[in-house]
Amino acid sequence: MPPPEPEFSAGTGGTPSGPSARDTACSAYQRNRAPTSPDSATPGAHPATPYGGSMTITAAADGSALGNPGPNGWAWYIDDANWAAGGSPHGTNNQGELRAVLELLQATAGTAGEKLVIECDSRYVIDSVTKWMPGWKRKGWRKSDGGPVLNRDLLEGIDEALRGRDVSFTWVKGHAGHPLNEAADQRANAAATAYQRKREPERGPGFTGGSLTDAGVAPAPAPARKPPATVSADGTRAGSAALPVVAPSAAPAPALWAEASDLLDGLDLPATAAPIELRVALSASEHARLRDRADAQRVSLEEALRRLI
């Protein structure tokens, strides 16, 4: 088993806080019981008890991009009964990494009273959330050099999803035999490959809260996908350190990437009709979001908007 990795709590400035739950018990779920030995516990094993009660959820989140930017994928993984994956026809590795964390936080929103440990092999993700984000917010989502923060919409979504949650991040070295990280990496890469081949990726069961007592037991059906919570774009919310509890919003946020398979239809067809000019009035915050996306993809504002369509 790999040695323990440093753990960082969201909003604590990235200060290591000791070994993670996986390091001490090496299990996806811990429910008020003595830790098992590393040799006897596996990522796919749960206690055969109903979902609920005090526990720590340990999950890995990972992203992938073929070309960077290029077809990209994201995935989070707890065990074979609880994981999800997705991606987009075009994006960066960092966008996939952040999206995986956001999707994990949203999928486990119903467990807000439990501790969540997120394993990441991306220093960018951990530092962005635990070190840099409070300062970016104070500066109106501007970096120290005055430039706009890239991937702001994803970071704002993560900031919102962290409120009221007990979440910490653990850095793990990628491709180094960490079981959860390896599983997430494989699924993120598979999603990116699916988009490269213009196929719908395997999305997984989502967070079911189910237990795997035998390798042959099929995972429970995936719950209906909930829309993401609306994220404010004005950068005036309270800092992440307080993590106040807020009621979930009923209005879905605009999706960063469209993931429906019909987006892939007709990508190779020649344009036979004359182009139609469309004028769109954007607010300052909407324009900033579009500019951030264009900068991340190294394309013009017009091309970034066209890719969203």
**Rounded to an integer, what distance in angstroms lies between the CA atom of residue 285 and that of residue 32?**
45
- Strand 56-65 and strand 115-120: the pairing is parallel
What does DSSP assign to residue 21? H
| Closest among 260, 238, 256, 255 to 292, alpha carbons compared | 256
**Rounded to an integer, what distance in angstroms lies between the CA atom of residue 258 and that of residue 88?**
7
SS3 category, 53: coil
| Closest among 280, 289, 281 to 234, alpha carbons compared | 289
What's phi and psi for 292, nearest 5 deg?
-60, -40
**Rounded to an integer, what distance in angstroms lies between the CA atom of residue 2 and that of residue 60?**
15
**Rounded to an integer, what distance in angstroms lies between the CA atom of residue 232 and that of residue 139?**
15
> Residue 222 in contact with residue 237, Cβ under 8 Å?
no
- Catalytic machinery residues: 62-63, 97, 121, 175, 185
CA dihedral (159, 165, 166, 168) in degrees, to 10, reads -30
**Where do we find the tokens 């999950």?**
59
Q: Work out the burial of residue 191: count CB atoms within 10 Å of its CB; fewer than 13 is exposed, 13-18 middle, 19 or more buried.
A: buried
Q: Tell me how far the alpha carbon of residue 18 is from its chain's centroid.
A: 23
| Closest among 125, 169, 139, 150 to 12, alpha carbons compared | 169
**Rounded to an integer, what distance in angstroms lies between the CA atom of residue 97 and that of residue 298?**
18
